[in-house]
Chains A and B, each alone.
Chain A
Amino acid sequence: MFFCNYFFDIEQLILYLYYVKVSPKYRYYHINMLKKIINFYISGFKNMPVYGRRLWLIILIKAFIMFAVLKVFFFQGHLKKFKTDQEKIDYVSEQLITIK
């Protein structure tokens, strides 16, 4: 139920943002279209079988481990410590011209 409410709120939010941004000429046609797409996903998720929910749980755990743990703590990118491209060029050049 929590998920249903959550999706419902997102739908309202998107519709609100859309209403504010788009010109009135196309507004109602587009809103209907958008509503249909959102409802398509909501009903799809609502009617998902048990194994489907388990799979989504696995995807979320996996994404959390990958992006919130591995990426943040272990894989920040070795060259990210340099601020400019020139610093990166200088560092890699030094690495490439040094024969160990």
Chain B
Amino acid sequence: MENIDWGLVDWSRAQFALTAMYHWIFVPLTLGLSFLIAIMETIYVKTGNPAWKKTTKFWMTLFGINFAIGVATGIILEFEFGTNWSNYSWFVGDIFGAPLAIEGIMAFFMESTFIAIMFFGWQKVSKKVHLTSTWLVAIGSNLSALWILAANGWMQNPTGMQFNPDTVRNEMNNFWEVLFNPAAINKFLHTITSAYVLASIFVIGVSAWFLIKKRNTDFAKKSMIIASVFGFFSILYTIGTGDGSAKVVAKYQPMKLAAIEGLYEGSTEADLVAFGFVGGEKTKPEVSGIKLPGMLSWLSFGDSKKFVPGIKDLVEGNPDQGILSYNERIEKGKLSIDALAEYKNAMKSGDTENAEIALTVFKDNFEHFGYGYYFGKDPNLLVPNVKLSFYSFHIMVILGAFFLLFFILTFLYSFKNKFQGKNWLLWLSIWTIPLVYIAQQTGWIVAEVGRQPWVIQDLMPNIAAVSQIDKSTVQITFFLFFAVFTALLIAEFKIMFTQIKKAKDINTNENIGGTN
């Protein structure tokens, strides 16, 4: 244990988390706003009403600002994979390479080409070509997200591959299994629909500001109606896919489920914590609060009689439920790692007979491979940060429920045209914008902190994935990224606020947003 530089692991993790969290400030608005703009422009093309054209152009301006500031921030994550996580990058092989390459090509050709038509083409191409471009930008951005999230889903539930001990890489043997991995599909749908929720709340919040200022009121009401309807259906879908994600987590990542619920001892008819606090020791949490009887079992497996394992069951094992203890898995993982070493040595010396034997042992225990790195260590190191996972999950769920009520309210008030003058609701709409960003970030904390220490579930922990590089380099770039991303965020706020404040007479002025 003294040979592991935990500082290096933690700084590398912190840097990746910082980059990913900043990146995810920009992405969801792009994903959601692109569809809202496409819907608004469709109404313009259908009705021919120029007010809808101006409405589309205004939101397109804000979309453009967010897109320009956020573009390429994700590439830094790829830099980090290659430098800070080189063992991981080699180990995942083409499973990561293929989806990322498709994403790169799609993002470049679809988004770059059609975004130019969106912004420069209002008077250069026909209405229908322009509208098609706007829809293609929306579809293209969302498809880009599909490939990234398929890669992430594979890390949560590795499938569709075979490990090649000669190259020490995983090789994809079923592309469709990787793409339609249940973890990937649920993650993709949950993520993009939550992005639609964010964009809808953003549109409602900005429109509410116009109503408070009594400016561009017709435009604001029109925008609110579209965003309320889109947001309402999106939050329903987000909740539905969240339920799907929970079932996938229960099946493939039981420790994550135990951590987000603070469940120490598993049981049948396990209770769901609706609202509560977590105390106790780091790996022996005690939860107090309002609990819904049997709901966790029901939500996880569709049956309240089913057993949901807790942290204790997973660490210490539960023979009645057929759960191996972490120590048993560590032993098997160690066998697998040693067998890989023996195989490599046997192949080097040309001893094919021993190589075959070692390969069989390796394959038989491969599903526990990553546990082997904890040989001689405390198995509790395999338990994620329970408090962070628990609070992040519950904040996300509570905010999700609040957004559902919020959309019902905005939906009703927008349709009855009673938004104006309801200052409490208008201010609530504005203050819901930071809340939806918090929900997004906590969602990712649940997904990524909850699966620690796994970089690839059960196969590669972060201590095996990290590159042996100088810790000070990681620290320097951590603060460098922090400075650059904060500067970008400030620039985004400044330019966006200026454009919003400058927007006058959207209903009559031709020159709002983008070029003509």
Q: Which residues of A contact B (CB under 8 A)?
A: 40-41, 43-45, 47-49, 51-52, 54-56, 58-59, 62-63, 65-66, 70-71, 74-80, 85, 88-89, 92-93, 95-97, 99-100
Q: How far is the CB of A20 from chain B (nearest CB, A)?
A: 26
A-B contact pairs, 18 of them (CB 8 A): A43-B120, A44-B116, A44-B119, A44-B120, A44-B121, A47-B120, A48-B515, A51-B495, A55-B68, A62-B72, A66-B75, A70-B480, A77-B86, A78-B83, A79-B89, A89-B168, A95-B468, A99-B372
A96–B83 CB distance below 8 A? no
Residues of chain B from 1 to 42 with CB closer than 8 A to chain A in the complex = 1, 3-4
* Residues in B neighbouring A70, C-beta threshold 8 A: 76, 79, 477, 480
Given contacts A55-B68, A74-B83, A100-B1, contact A41 B116 (CB under 8 A): yes
* Residues in B neighbouring A76, C-beta threshold 8 A: 83
* Residues in A neighbouring B121, C-beta threshold 8 A: 40, 44
B499–A51 CB distance below 8 A? yes
* B177 on interface, CB distance cutoff 8 Å: no
* Residues in B neighbouring A80, C-beta threshold 8 A: 82
CB nearest to B516 among chain A residues: A47
Chain B, 481-510, contact with A by CB distance < 8 Å: what is the 0/1 string? 000100010010001001100000000000
* Residues in A neighbouring B488, C-beta threshold 8 A: 58, 62
Complex CA–CA separation, A47 to B80 (angstroms): 38
* Residues in B neighbouring A100, C-beta threshold 8 A: 1, 3-4, 373, 463
Complex CA–CA separation, A51 to B373 (angstroms): 52
B373–A99 CB distance below 8 A? yes
* Residues in B neighbouring A44, C-beta threshold 8 A: 116, 119-121, 515
Complex CA–CA separation, A44 to B123 (angstroms): 10
Q: How far is the CB of B381 from chain A (nearest CB, A)?
A: 13
Q: How far is the CB of B393 from chain A (nearest CB, A)?
A: 32
A95–B3 CB distance below 8 A? no
* Residues in B neighbouring A75, C-beta threshold 8 A: 79-80, 82-83, 477
Cβ contact of A99, chosen from B91, B119, B168, B375, cutoff 8 A = B375
* B133 on interface, CB distance cutoff 8 Å: no
Complex CA–CA separation, A49 to B334 (angstroms): 62
B87–A96 CB distance below 8 A? yes
* B409 on interface, CB distance cutoff 8 Å: no
Complex CA–CA separation, A54 to B492 (angstroms): 11
B337–A97 CB distance below 8 A? yes
CB nearest to A47 among chain B residues: B515
Between B90, B467, B469, the greatest number of chain A beta carbons within 10 A of the residue's beta carbon is seen for B90
Given contacts A44-B120, A79-B90, A96-B337, contact A49 B71 (CB under 8 A): no
CB nearest to B80 among chain A residues: A75
Q: How far is the CB of B59 from chain A (nearest CB, A)?
A: 15
Chain B, 438-479, contact with A by CB distance < 8 Å: what is the 0/1 string? 000000000000000000000000011001110001001100
Q: How far is the CB of B64 from chain A (nearest CB, A)?
A: 7
Q: How far is the CB of B83 from chain A (nearest CB, A)?
A: 5
Given contacts A49-B514, A79-B86, A95-B464, 5 further A-B contacts (CB under 8 A): A47-B120, A47-B515, A74-B473, A75-B79, A75-B82
CB nearest to A92 among chain B residues: B90
* B349 on interface, CB distance cutoff 8 Å: no
Given contacts A70-B480, A88-B90, A99-B337, contact A49 B515 (CB under 8 A): yes
* B65 on interface, CB distance cutoff 8 Å: yes
Complex CA–CA separation, A45 to B84 (angstroms): 38
Q: How far is the CB of A72 from chain B (nearest CB, A)?
A: 11
Residues of chain B from 49 to 91 with CB closer than 8 A to chain A in the complex = 61, 64-65, 68-69, 71-72, 75-76, 79-80, 82-84, 86-87, 89-91
Given contacts A58-B488, A100-B4, contact A63 B515 (CB under 8 A): no
Q: How far is the CB of A85 from chain B (nearest CB, A)?
A: 8
Complex CA–CA separation, A43 to B84 (angstroms): 43
* Residues in A neighbouring B116, C-beta threshold 8 A: 40-41, 44
* B341 on interface, CB distance cutoff 8 Å: yes
Complex CA–CA separation, A3 to B471 (angstroms): 42
B464–A55 CB distance below 8 A? no
Complex CA–CA separation, A75 to B338 (angstroms): 32
